[in-house]
Amino acid sequence: MNIFKNILGVLVISCVIGCNSSSKEKTATIYKDVKIVSAMKNVMWKGELQGKINLDTIADKNGLYGIGPVSYLSGELLINNGNSYVSKVTSDTTMIVEKDFKVTAPFFVYANVTEWTQIELPSNIKTVKDIEAFVDEKTKTFKRPFAFKLAGTLKTATIHIQNLPKGTKVSSPTEAHQGQVNYQLENEEVEIIGFFSTEHKGIFTHHDANIHLHLITKNEDKMGHLDAVTIDKMTLFLPKK
């Protein structure tokens, strides 16, 4: 009987420890400030091109920001301060940008931010990698991941829009980028919406980056994923802690 009680006690203790450990692990992967739906790697490597979220189902659109591709990689998505933009290729040099929440994405990251801290970018911050390093430096004490934005003028930029041919099967990043069209911008006033994380490579950032950026011009006629930029003068907006 004593042996039975001892064994039972060990099992109970083990269960309590295991349950608490499991609970902590689950809590550690939940981000209240940033919502993540599916993952970039599922699209690129598993060919999960179908919509995993309808943007119209995001209830709180107050100060809402988000980025991702259109389902079946047929365009790019940007939510900028509660406004949803969809860009699609019309030719090698032209695109269409429309406001629309009735659209789906195969992966998406979004957050609500209503209060910002502004920092003027130093003159030596010129490129995407410069932006990543500067944002990292200024947010060592921040809860991560987080959304941020930049506003101002650029000298040059390269953005792209996904334009995967209908019916294409995807099992690698190379296949996923079939049909992608790059666009060159010069001397534009823009806003850039970004998400930063050191822990989400392949989820909502590429394998070699800690940021994912989408750009929209002030007149809202050009929008896409930002690949390269030469900054003229810009202000960085970080969420207030």
* 99 and 24 together in one domain: no
The span from the CA of 20 to the CA of 30, in Å, is 16
Q: What pLDDT does 207 receive?
A: 83
**Structural domain range at position 147:** 34-239
Residues 201, 137, single domain; the answer is: yes
Q: What's the chain's length in residues? A: 241
- CATH for 183: 3.30.1330.80
Q: How many CB atoms lie within 10 A of CB 193?
A: 25
Structure token digits, residue 228: 């390269």
CB 194 within 8 A of CB 213: yes
Q: Give the separation between CA 240 and CA 115, rounded to whole angstroms.
A: 6
Instruction: Of 56, 103, 104, 106, give the one whose Cα is nearest residue 82.
Output: 56
- Indicate whether 93 and 160 sit together in one domain: yes
Q: How far apart are CA 104 and CA 70, in angstroms?
A: 6
* 21 and 46 assigned to the same domain: no
Q: Which residue has 């301060």 as its token pair?
A: 81
Copy the structure tokens of residue 206.
């590429």
- Distance CA(113)–CA(63), nearest Å, equals 5
pLDDT score of 57: 96
Pair (68, 149) in one structural domain:
yes
Residue 206 is predicted with a pLDDT of: 84
Same domain (yes/no): 88, 149: yes
Stretches in the chain below the pLDDT threshold 70: 1-32
- Same domain as 169, residue 68: yes
Q: Which residues of 223-238 are buried (b: 16+ CB within 10 A; e: fewer)?
A: bbbbeebebbebebbb
* Structural domains counted in the chain: 2
Pairing of strands 83-89, 146-161: unpaired
Residues 69 and 164 grouped into a single domain? yes
Q: Are 22 and 42 members of one domain?
A: no
How is residue 168 written in tokens? 């294409």
What's the rounded Cα separation, in Å, for the pair 97 and 75? 10
